[in-house]
Amino acid sequence: MEYKIYVGTVIKIKNGFMQGYFKIMYCGMINNETFVLSPFVSKGYQGFSPNIYYEIDSTVIQIFNREFDVIEVTRDYIIIGD
């Protein structure tokens, strides 16, 4: 499945059968060679959201023990697939 995430948009991705969801947000590109994704980690009323920096030529990225293929990256959106 492919996911198109716009800058500042949070999406929920199913983690597996009966394992719930996780949320990620595309934070854009900080320069011409780096893009940023931010997964949301929460437990009860507490949570945090670290920024993860990737190189623009990355073809596979890993978030929460899952690998995603990077299909397209622009300043406005990213398309990833699993």
pLDDT (tens, 9 = 90+) of the chain, 82 residues, equals: 899 999 999 999 887 777 778 899 999 999 999 999 999 888 888 888 899 999 999 999 998 888 999 999 999 999 999 8
- pTM comes to 0.85
Strand partners, 33: none
Strands 46-48 and 34-43: antiparallel
Place of tokens 């990833």: 80
Cα–Cα distance between 54 and 35 in angstroms, integer?
5
In the DSSP assignment, the letter for residue 7 is B
Three-class secondary structure of residue 70 per DSSP:
strand
